[in-house]
Structure formats: C-alpha cells, structure tokens
Amino acid sequence: MTTSHRITLLAGDGIGPEITAVARQLLDAVSRRHGFTLIYDEQPMGGAAIEANGVPLPESTLEACRASEAVLLAAIGSPQYDKLPRQQRPETGLLGLRAGLGLFANLRPVKIVPALASASSLKPEVIDGVDLMVVRELTGGIYFGTPKGRVKTESGERGFNTMAYSDFEVDRIARVGFELARQRRGQLCSVDKANVLDVSQLWRERVEAIHGEAYGDVALSHLYVDNAAMQLVRAPKQFDVLLTGNLFGDILSDEAAMLSGSIGMLPSASLGEAGPGVFEPIHGSAPDIAGQDKANPMAMVLSAAMLLRIGLKQEAAAADLERAVDQVLAEGYRTGDLMQAGCTQLGCRAMGDQLQAALES
C-alpha cells in the first residue's frame, strides 16, 4: 500500500494562487518519484475568504487544517482590505491560524545560494557562506498582548498594545532554539531589549535558565535588538541560530531575508507542540504583480520542501526539491526579482516547468 498524506492548501491572495499552482505541480512530480500520494484540500483564507465567507479565516478552513497532516500557505493580504475593521482583515486571519493551531515556533532559515551571491545588495564577501536560522516566537508578545486598542481621551485619541511574555512561553521557544542550535553549529544568540523592557528582562532570564538546565553544550550569547539589526548587515556570518520574540523576529527576519538577494527565495515553518505545522514563504502577496505571471515561486517551492521534511518526514523528496531549485539557479534561470545580466528571465509558470524538468533530470 502506498503512503498517502493529506495536506491543506491555502492559496490566499495576490500572487498566492500562481505560486500555489507551481508548488502543487512540483509536489505532484516529487511524490510520484518517491512513491507516495498527496491528497490536497484547498481552502479559502485571507481576502479570498473575506469574499467567499465574509471572514478572513472561516471555521471550516481552520477545521480542515486541523484534520490534515500539514498546511501549505502561499500569502494573504491586499490593499483593498486595508480599510476594513481589524477583525476582518486578512492579517487577522493569519494570526488566528497561528493561534488556532498553537504554532508558537516560527523557523526562518536564511542560506545563501552561491549562484545568487551577487544578487544581494551586500558585498559577496560579506554574505558568502551565510547560513543562519531565525527562531521567532509566534503566538505571544505584542502581537497578542492585552490590553490593546484605541480610545478617545480628553486630549485626543490614543492607541496602545502590550508586549507581554509568560515564563512558559519563553521556555518552550528557547528549547526549540537550543535544540536547533545543537543540530547545527551549536551557537544560539538571543535577541531582546533587556536594557529598556521588563518583558525582555524576563525573556533573558528564562533563556539563561533553560540554557543552564539542559543546554550547556550550546554557546549562548545575547544581543539587544538594535545591535542585532546592525550586526546582521555588518557581519551576518557570525550567526547560527537567532532566537527572538514575535515583533523583533518579524523585523529581523525580513532584514535577514534580504541577505539572500530577494525575499522571494525564503521559506518558513511554523510549528506547535503537536498537530500540523504551517509552511509558507516569508514574502507577502505582492498585489502589484498579481495575475501577471511574474512571481518568483521558489520560496513557495522551498516551503513545500520544508513541509515534506518536517511535516511529512519525507526527507528524500524534500532534498530533491531543494536540489531542483539550486540546479535551475545554477543554470542561470531567474524570475524578474533576481534578474541579472547574462541570465534567462522566466515567468512564474515557466519557472515551474523548469523546476520540474530539473527535478526529473
């Protein structure tokens, strides 16, 4: 009997459907080669769900995700929804998905593809050999803290959010960071703002406590977030695992993504204690190029590879997809975001076909 896996596909908005089609084409091809079957359950999410169901994350979508082994999400959001009340915005659906599935750990690997070293805005010698992982806490911090809101006061209007972490939230994400560091180069740098914020003081204390309890073999260091932002562009090779909270991780992971030349290259995994993980590119829905066959599908294909490896334990298939991406880049094929003199520019669909050809070669 062949193994079959049920995965939920959330194509979302903007370029989402285009890159999802490519991911599906590649997943079909790679699963055929490795003798397992994928059963897809396509569900609406984000703006697409606002149109179909009136909410960005329908209960039926969340249920389908819970009932599957892993979730592949493309991208959500579009300027047309920016004026909607917060509860109805696509981004709120994404936060609801993270909270609803308990996905507290967000893994964002940044590895420089040699063929793209010159695509970065930084000097090749600065980024050559960069291989780091941002571990971002994803279900706490200022994204979810209360009180929050907007109030009218005598002196005008006031908006506020709360950055809060409980000890157990720091402990569990620290463990994820230390475990990963152990599998990699044994270094973990925790990023906070402990010189100013009480919440960061607790963060730092708990990271040190977990280190002392069980991870003495990992080299632990701390950086304030402003310095970490600077070090990431000054000397990114110094980092192995970067552990940080929700907001700092959001910002630093975009910064780290640009080391690779384009945010269109980077995948991510969001994982909980148990249950399905969500695998998605770091980039957004790029409404400016949606529907024009211009999107770079590689971050999505690499997210599908992470889904295969972490979500479905199909390591060989995951490695095959990653090899296909490397090969196509080495052969000089580029989407518009990465285009350089001497390369061949392809649209999203043609890039998908090229990736499939590389996979099957």
Q: Which does 42 bind (CB under 5 to 8 A by kind): ligand IPM, Mg ion, none?
A: none
Residue 105 partner contact from ligand IPM, Mg ion, none using kind-dependent CB cut-offs of 5 to 8 Å: none
Size of the site for Mg ion (CB under 5 A): 1
Applying the rule CB under 6 A, the residues between 64 and 83 that interact with ligand IPM are: 77
Q: For tokens 């957004």, what's the residue?
A: 284
Q: How many CB atoms lie within 10 A of CB 287?
A: 16
Give 31 or 303: the residue with its C-beta nearer to ligand IPM: 303
Q: Which is nearer to Mg ion, 240 or 250 (CB)?
A: 250
What does each C-alpha distance from 18 to 94, 202, 306 come to in angstroms? 19, 43, 19
228 binds, among Mg ion, ligand IPM, none (CB under 5 to 8 A by kind): none
DSSP at 229: H
- For ligand IPM, which residue has the nearest CB? 91
- Residue closer to ligand IPM (CB basis): 249 or 352: 249
Which residues form the catalytic set? Answer: 143, 193, 226, 250, 254
Per DSSP, helices labelled H in the chain are 16-34, 47-53, 59-66, 90-100, 124-127, 167-183, 198-214, 225-234, 246-258, 298-306, 315-330, 348-360
**Residue 171 is a binding residue for ligand IPM (CB under 6 A):** no
Q: Which does 91 bind (CB under 5 to 8 A by kind): Mg ion, ligand IPM, none?
A: ligand IPM
Q: Which of 250, 280, 320, 322 binds Mg ion (CB under 5 A)?
A: 250
Does residue 137 belong to the site contacting Mg ion (CB under 5 A)?
no
Q: Residue 132 CB, nearest distance to Mg ion (Å)?
A: 17
How crowded is residue 66: how many other Cβ atoms within 10 Å of its Cβ?
13
Q: What is the DSSP string of 83-129?
A: TS-GGGSHHHHHHHHHHHTT--EEEEEEE--GGGGGGSSS-HHHHTT
Q: Looking only at residues 329 through 348 of this chain, which bind ligand IPM when binding is defined by CB under 6 A?
A: none
Q: Which is nearer to ligand IPM, 77 or 272 (CB)?
A: 77
Residue 198 dihedral angles phi and psi, to the nearest 5°: -60, -40
Looking at beta carbons only, is 18 or 250 nearer to Mg ion?
250
The residue (of 57 and 358) whose beta carbon lies closer to Mg ion is: 57
Hunting for tokens 């009932």 — which residue is that?
Answer: 67
Q: Which is nearer to ligand IPM, 89 or 211 (CB)?
A: 89
Residue 271's H or E segment, with its range, is strand 267-271
Structure tokens at 319: 């490695």
Contacting residue, 137, 240, 250, 320, with ligand IPM by CB under 6 A = 250
Return the ∠ at Cα 68 (arms to 8 and 101), rounded to 5°: 90
Q: What's the closest the beta carbon of residue 354 comes to ligand IPM, in angstroms?
A: 28
Closest distance between ligand IPM and the C-beta of residue 115, in Å?
26
Q: Does 94 bind ligand IPM (CB under 6 A)?
A: yes
Q: How far apart are CA 49 and CA 55, in angstroms?
A: 6
The verdict on 180 binding ligand IPM (CB under 6 A) reads no
Contact in structure between 295 and 75 (CB atoms under 8 Å): no
**Min CB(149)–ligand IPM separation in Å:** 18
Strand order in the sheet with 241-244: 36-42, 3-12, 70-75, 277-281, 267-271, 105-111, 131-137, 241-244, 187-192, 219-224
Q: CB of 18: closest distance to Mg ion in angstroms?
A: 20
Residue 91 within binding range of ligand IPM, rule CB under 6 A: yes
100 binds, among Mg ion, ligand IPM, none (CB under 5 to 8 A by kind): none
Q: How far is the CB of 243 from Mg ion (least distance, A)?
A: 17
Binding site for ligand IPM (CB under 6 A): 77, 91, 94, 250
Interacting residues with Mg ion (CB under 5 A): 250
